[in-house]
Structure 1
């Protein structure tokens, strides 16, 4: 996902998809001691600061990443794409519609501390989005306004796309959670023509009555901006959006994931968002606004910074990222 700076040119010469929206200061919502708690776990020292400036990927290029983990065959179909009918189709209101039925609780998982829990993983964007610019540009209702169905996401300077990254981490995270007994579903597995749209992604977690939902992303900010951050929903109410009951649990989920991510990867919280806590709150993301179950986004690093990009392209680091997110989810669900 990207935080666009209108003065920052796209490397492809195309105008990036805009992701405007107000940021809500996390300090007002997160206890003051949280910053110290997170930073205590991080190795000392600080990263150089840089001005935000995001860019998106126009199309997948030759990837310079290490080999991605292949999808694990799933006989129960738990992580298959939700809409097996009209892929990228529309309902009467023009929004993509999920027709999948909820999976059985605990199905497909091993015995473990998360047995009976259903977790939804939402890999940000879709490797095929760039082929369908008109479809993903279609506006959908996010409760407090209207935004694009989806975007292409961003990429590293040498062409490793955010959509490739998120699918790889999603597969690793799925496997880690299953080892603890969880049932896991993915909002898509890369086989759709495009999307799902952001409103459908939210609806899947709601319809499946997920215990937790995590949307995986990587940022596209300016060089020098480094680190991860986790985004939880602000309290919003309008249209189909009403996050009043999930803001607290989502913040707790985000805090747990941030802690697990630090411990597993050794990465530091963002030096440009979240005031050093690694936590942010937003009211302009449809995937959060429309959720009725605890949900967060995680921006695992900045694809436009060379040091962060090297980590994101490393298979070993991606496994550590998945393990850290899994640790945070498990801590949240076990209380």
Structure 2
């Protein structure tokens, strides 16, 4: 696990208590009468506890103090939920062109197995960013009881292919699947966007609506917590519906792609290269996913 992940560890009990508060707030919000007061939005999420709401009781050696024992896996407000996190690309892709360029099913034809991904002007590779951020999100969701499955086990391998990544979510009957990426857009453009599946006959009809809800929850929390605005060079208000991505077309569970920022934009890249920022970004992503999971 990267140093950035270790540095941000909070106790499982602290996080579980924070999300338990979220669950109580969500239940109360859902039970309120629709239109109860001016400006009420019955679909909006309640205020969520921020990362500062829990204290970090770890000592300098990273060990948790004896009076704050870690909660066992599955013990928390998300204890019955399964989340698949897909860190985009992989560190070995560039060295295996024949493998990642091979064609695989994409739901509307065939596409390349995978790609190399983008990188910042300083050489910070997208596959590394995706991996580090995914580990942080995994840590937060597991601390609140969720079962989190990653589509790859390290950042040195090749692939898996886009159809295999979708199948991992399907086989595990995930309650939500999130593919984490960073864009390689124009240097002058900045911002993030969330990609949702459009309707592809006989493939995505059942996941379009729940995926849109997942996207909205992540978009709201990420906008507030990441200090990165909506993308100003594509998408609309941070949302982009697409039918050309095999990872979405082949999914049978609610799934979205988060393009967390534009690595070729200096402002976005400066944030994305900062380990402390990645901690905050992971907080906001996990809060968005948790809000979606607690809807049901």
Q: Same fold (TM over 0.5)?
A: yes
User: Comparing both structures, which one devotes a greater share of its residues to helix?
Assistant: 2
1:264 has 2:225 as partner: yes
Name which of structure 1's ranges 315-324 and 147-156 shifts more when overlaid on structure 2.
Answer: 315-324
1:265 CA displacement: 1.3
Partners of 1:194 and 1:252 in 2: how far apart?
A: 32
Is 1:288 equivalent to 2:248 in the alignment?
A: yes
CA distance in 1: counterparts of 2:122 and 2:290, whole angstroms: 35
Shift of 1:266: 2.4
CA contact (8 A) 1:130 1:152 kept: yes
Q: Is the 8 A contact 2:91 2:156 kept in 1?
A: no
- What is the rounded CA distance, in whole Å, between the counterparts of 1:108 and 1:200 in structure 2? 30
Shift of 1:213: 0.3
Alignment partner, residue 206 of structure 2: 245
| 1:192 Cα deviation after fit | 6.2
TM-score normalised to the size of structure 2? 0.74
SS for the counterpart of 2:149 is strand
Counterpart residue number, 1:133 = 97
Moved over 3 A (4+): none
Change (3 A) 1:312 1:142: same
Tell me the equivalent position of 1:184. Answer: 148
Pairing partner for 1:254 from 212, 215, 234: 215
Report deviation, 1:193. 3.5
**Counterpart Cα distance in 2 of 1:228 and 1:303:** 10
Contact 2:179 2:258 in 1 (8 A): yes
> In the aligned structure 2, how far is the partner of 1:331 from the partner of 1:230?
16
Which residue does 2:129 correspond to in 1?
165
Once the two structures are TM-superposed, the CA of residue 158 in structure 1 deviates from its matched residue by: 1.7
Choose which of 293, 299, 302 in structure 1 pairs with 2:262: 302
User: Which secondary structure state, in structure 2, belongs to the residue aligned with residue 195 of structure 1?
Assistant: coil
- Deviation for aligned residue 1:274: 2.1
Q: CA RMSD in A?
A: 2.0
CA displacement at 1:108 relative to structure 2: 6.4
Mapped partners of 2:260, 2:133: distance in 1: 10
Instruction: Give the TM-score normalised by structure 1.
Output: 0.66
Which ranges in structure 2 are unaligned for 5 or more consecutive residues?
1-42, 45-70
Distance in 1, matches of 2:132 and 2:106, equals: 27
**Residues 1:127 and 1:157: Cα distance change in structure 2 (over 3 Å):** same
Partner residue, 1:11: none
Q: 1:191 deviation in Å?
A: 5.7
1:167/1:189 contact within 8 Å kept: no
Matched positions, count = 229
Alignment deviations for residues 136-159 of structure 1 (CA, whole Å, 9 cap, x no partner)? 000111120110000000100121
